[in-house]
């Protein structure tokens, strides 16, 4: 099984509508040397170029090939989605089953440009083609970006949060300090027991059982601050269990409280 990226330009083709309205789509194979390589069962990510709207480009769907490439000489059922002048005369095509669509896009071109491991993907360097074959290594990383953290990732994040594998990851936040009773007492004294991200109040919801309960989050990554002194006023933030878990869910990308708030606001 191989992994591909197929590109569509919303200027010439109504990518969003086509993906949203069809469970099976047909895409052209313009890079003719790939006709022999494409196979049923290959994973194909659909890349919508920004079409002149900066910041909107990226991966908008995951599909799987359900045919071998074949040649069609007339515009097929997707012709209605082509803007005039851009209907190709004859081209190889392949049928794809749409597995999931996320027009946001879920994987943004701008984020990939800043991704250490993925910024050298060909589609970023030479964006003029329709079809790109993705290396196994890049495919695994793209898969992770598309699917999000796995059950195993979640468990590992909790291990990190609990301090069981401290030091194994280069970047993590100061959970050591979050477990310290004195830090916790001072943080609560200074900041109170309301979640600073969503406003959740344990006592309000759980009554007596929740009184004075809140989790304490240490906002500085340890690789940045090696110092052992914690300032509860500036370094510690009270967070409810939900918000705290979401902040730590991806240990490679611990969110700031501000970023979490933006998620809560749906941005
Ligand atoms: Zn919260
Ligand atoms: Zn934390």
In the 8-state DSSP scheme, what is residue 130?
S
Instruction: Answer with the one of 112, 147, 182 that is the final residue of a domain.
Output: 147
User: What local confidence, expressed as pLDDT, does residue 266 receive?
Assistant: 87
User: Closest-lying ligand to the alpha carbon of 260?
Assistant: 1
Q: Pick from 84, 80, 89, 106: which is nearest to 22 by CA? A: 80
Q: 204: CA distance to ligand 2 center in Å?
A: 22
Q: For all residues of the chain together, what is the average pLDDT?
A: 86
Closest ligand, as measured to the CA of 197: 1
Which ligand places an atom closest to the C-alpha of 237? Answer: 2
Q: Are both 123 and 161 inside the same structural domain?
A: no
Q: Which of 111, 150, 131, 153 is nearest to 63 (CA)?
A: 131
> Domain residues for 51?
3-147
Treating both helix axes as pointing N-terminal to C-terminal, what angle do 241-248 and 257-264 enclose, rounded to 10 degrees? 110
Whether the pLDDT of residue 135 is over 50: the answer is: yes
Partner residues linked to 63 by β-bridges: 44, 98
DSSP 254: P
pLDDT at residue 172, as a whole number: 47
Which ligand approaches the C-alpha of residue 184 most closely? 2
Ligand nearest to the CA of 158: 2
Share of residues in the chain with pLDDT > 70 (%) = 82
For the ranges 82-86, 200-204, 210-214, the maximum mean pLDDT occurs at 200-204
CA of 188 to the centre of ligand 2 (A): 15
* pLDDT score, position 184: 85
Pair 77, 165 in one domain: no
Q: Distance from the CA of 102 to the center of ligand 2, in angstroms?
A: 29
Q: Is residue 36 domain-shared with residue 18, that is, in the same domain?
A: yes
Please name which of 190, 188, 176 lies closest in space to residue 229, comparing C-alpha atoms: 176
Task: State whether 254 and 129 are in the same domain.
Answer: no
CA of 165 to the centre of ligand 1 (A): 25
Gap from CA of 124 to ligand 1 centroid (Å): 37
Provide the percentage of residues in the chain whose pLDDT is more than 90: 64
Same domain membership, residue 141 and residue 12: yes
Of the two residues 144 and 80, the one the predictor is more confident about is 144
Upper half-sphere CA count for residue 137 (Cβ side, 13 Å): 6
Sign of the C-alpha dihedral computed for residues 109, 110, 113 and 118 taken in this order: negative
Burial class (CB in 10 A: 0-12, 13-18, 19+), 154: middle
């Amino acid at each position: 099984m191989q992994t591909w990226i197929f590109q569509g330009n919303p200027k010439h083709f109504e990518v969003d509508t086509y993906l949203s309205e069809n469970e099976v789509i047909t895409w052209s194979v313009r890079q003719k040397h790939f006709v022999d390589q494409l196979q049923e069962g290959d994973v194909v990510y659909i890349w919508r170029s920004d079409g002149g709207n900066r910041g909107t480009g990226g991966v908008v769907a995951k599909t799987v090939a359900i045919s071998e490439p074949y040649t069609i000489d007339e515009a097929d059922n997707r012709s209605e989605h082509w803007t005039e002048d851009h209907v190709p005369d004859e081209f190889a095509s392949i049928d794809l089953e749409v597995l999931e669509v996320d027009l946001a896009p879920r994987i943004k071109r701008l984020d990939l440009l800043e991704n250490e491991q993925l910024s050298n993907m060909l589609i970023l360097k030479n964006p003029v083609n329709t079809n790109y074959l993705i290396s196994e290594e890049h495919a695994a990383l793209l898969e992770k970006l598309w699917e999000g953290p796995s059950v195993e990732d979640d468990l590992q994040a909790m291990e990190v949060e609990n301090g069981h594998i401290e030091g194994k990851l280069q970047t993590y936040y100061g959970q050591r300090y979050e477990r310290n009773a004195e830090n916790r007492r001072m943080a609560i004294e200074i900041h109170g027991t309301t979640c600073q991200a969503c406003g959740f109040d344990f006592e309000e919801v759980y009554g007596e059982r929740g009184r004075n309960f809140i989790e304490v989050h240490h906002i500085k990554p340890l690789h940045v601050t090696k110092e052992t002194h914690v300032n509860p006023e500036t370094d510690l933030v009270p967070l409810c269990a939900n918000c705290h878990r979401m902040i730590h869910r991806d240990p490679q990308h611990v969110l700031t409280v501000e970023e979490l708030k933006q998620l809560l606001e749906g941005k």
